[in-house]
């Protein structure tokens, strides 16, 4: 397991990508050991908010000295993060959780499927799989709220689904796959639970192996509090029930192991 550290990270840049979506680059040694699909815990200055906010790592720079976080402002913590400027410092903990099992994709046809703020962690995945597998990306957005599309196009063929059909296929990521007749052997996905349930069902129906990154509110982020559990088919060695901790056992799970 990758050793996690808690350290100050220096803000390199920050900009607005779409309504409420921010793009933040941080200089940090955590980048050196971060793998696609992992996340970091970001601490607020407000001492009343004791727990870090979990944010997926979108990208790692070529020198592995910086990480990119693309996040949505949803509360006081992320609203605070959006005010940071270059030269400021933020306390972060990471890398946390597991990542996508890239070895399972080598030489195969792969679809990366993201929805909403589940899109960012798949960018580093696309980079790492570029040249190692036949990869396509299918991303779902709220109406015309499209972000990171140009970044994905550097590495993979990109297909888009939007709720109202203003961009790409009208509907969800499964609709886009069917409309564009995309076949695959492996799916790597991240997004809201209803989307992941649909992907699990689609994968099972079509004999496709799927790995799902679950989004969940987290408290400690290190597996101690059992605040972010999901139901599994097998008994967990930690809690001795059919649960798993998303922050440490995940966030990426084999879809076959989940009871969704």
Q: Which of 96, 112, 131 finishes a domain?
A: 96
| Residues 35 and 74 occupy one common structural domain | yes
| Residues 209 and 225 occupy one common structural domain | no
Whether residue 129 contacts residue 105, with contact meaning beta carbons closer than 8 Å, is answered with: yes
| Domain count along the chain | 3
- CB contact set of 238 (below 8 Å; sequence gap of 6+): 223, 245
Banded pLDDT at 3 (limits 50, 70, 90): confident
Range of the domain at 35: 5-96
| Residues 109 and 153 occupy one common structural domain | yes
Tokens of 133: 């597998």
Question: What is the predicted pLDDT for the residue at 144?
Answer: 87
| Residues 86 and 142 occupy one common structural domain | no
CATH number of the domain residue 162 falls in? 3.40.50.80
Q: Which of 96, 122, 154 finishes a domain?
A: 96
CATH number of the domain residue 252 falls in? 2.10.240
Question: What is the predicted pLDDT for the residue at 232?
Answer: 58
| Residues 188 and 240 occupy one common structural domain | no
Q: Does residue 6 come out as left (phi exceeding 0), alpha (psi in the -120 to 50 range) or beta?
A: beta
pLDDT in tens, 112-145: 999 999 999 999 999 999 998 999 999 999 888 8
pLDDT in tens, 19-45: 999 999 999 999 999 999 999 999 999
Rounded distance between C-alpha atoms, residue 90 and residue 81, angstroms: 8
Higher-pLDDT residue of 246 and 160 is 160
| Residues 208 and 220 occupy one common structural domain | no
CATH number of the domain residue 89 falls in? 2.40.30.10
Whether residue 226 contacts residue 201, with contact meaning beta carbons closer than 8 Å, is answered with: no
Is this prediction's pTM over 0.85? yes
| Residues 132 and 92 occupy one common structural domain | no
| Residues 120 and 206 occupy one common structural domain | yes
Question: What is the predicted pLDDT for the residue at 206?
Answer: 96
Question: What is the predicted pLDDT for the residue at 70?
Answer: 97
| Residues 45 and 120 occupy one common structural domain | no
Tokens of 111: 């679809």
Of 125, 32, 113, 15, nearest to 71 by C-alpha is 15
**Across residues 192-206, what is the average pLDDT?**
95
Q: Which of 32, 66, 96 finishes a domain?
A: 96
Question: What is the predicted pLDDT for the residue at 91?
Answer: 96
**Average pLDDT of the chain?**
88
pLDDT in tens, 209-237: 999 998 655 444 444 444 444 455 555 56
| Least confident residue range of 60-64, 106-110, 234-238 | 234-238
Using a pLDDT cut of 90, give the percent of the chain over it: 75
Question: What is the predicted pLDDT for the residue at 134?
Answer: 94
| Residues 90 and 124 occupy one common structural domain | no
């Amino acid at each position: 397991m990758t050793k996690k550290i808690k350290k100050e990270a220096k803000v390199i840049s920050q900009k607005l990508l779409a309504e409420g979506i921010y793009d933040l680059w941080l200089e940090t040694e955590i980048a050196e050991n971060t793998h696609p699909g992992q996340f970091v815990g970001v601490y607020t200055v407000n001492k009343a908010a004791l727990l870090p906010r979990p944010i997926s790592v979108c990208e790692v720079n070529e020198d592995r000295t910086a990480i990119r976080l693309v996040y949505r402002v949803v509360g006081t913590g992320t609203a605070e993060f959006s005010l940071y400027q270059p030269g400021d410092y933020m306390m972060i903990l990471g890398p946390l959780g597991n990542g996508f099992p890239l070895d399972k994709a080598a030489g195969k046809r792969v679809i990366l499927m993201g929805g909403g703020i589940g899109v960012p962690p798949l960018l580093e995945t696309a980079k790492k799989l570029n040249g190692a597998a036949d990869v396509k990306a299918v991303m779902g957005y709220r109406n015309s709220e499209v972000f990171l599309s140009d970044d994905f196009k550097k590495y993979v063929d990109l297909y888009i689904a939007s709720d109202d059909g203003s961009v790409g296929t009208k509907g969800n990521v499964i609709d886009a796959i069917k409309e564009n007749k995309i076949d695959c052997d492996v799916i790597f996905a991240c997004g809201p639970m209803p989307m992941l349930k649909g992907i699990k069902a689609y994968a099972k129906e079509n004999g496709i192996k799927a790995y799902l990154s679950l989004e969940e509110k987290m408290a400690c982020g290190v597996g101690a509090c059992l605040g972010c559990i999901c139901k599994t088919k097998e008994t967990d060695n930690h809690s001795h029930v059919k649960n798993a901790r998303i922050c440490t056992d995940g966030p990426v799970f084999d879809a076959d192991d989940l009871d969704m």
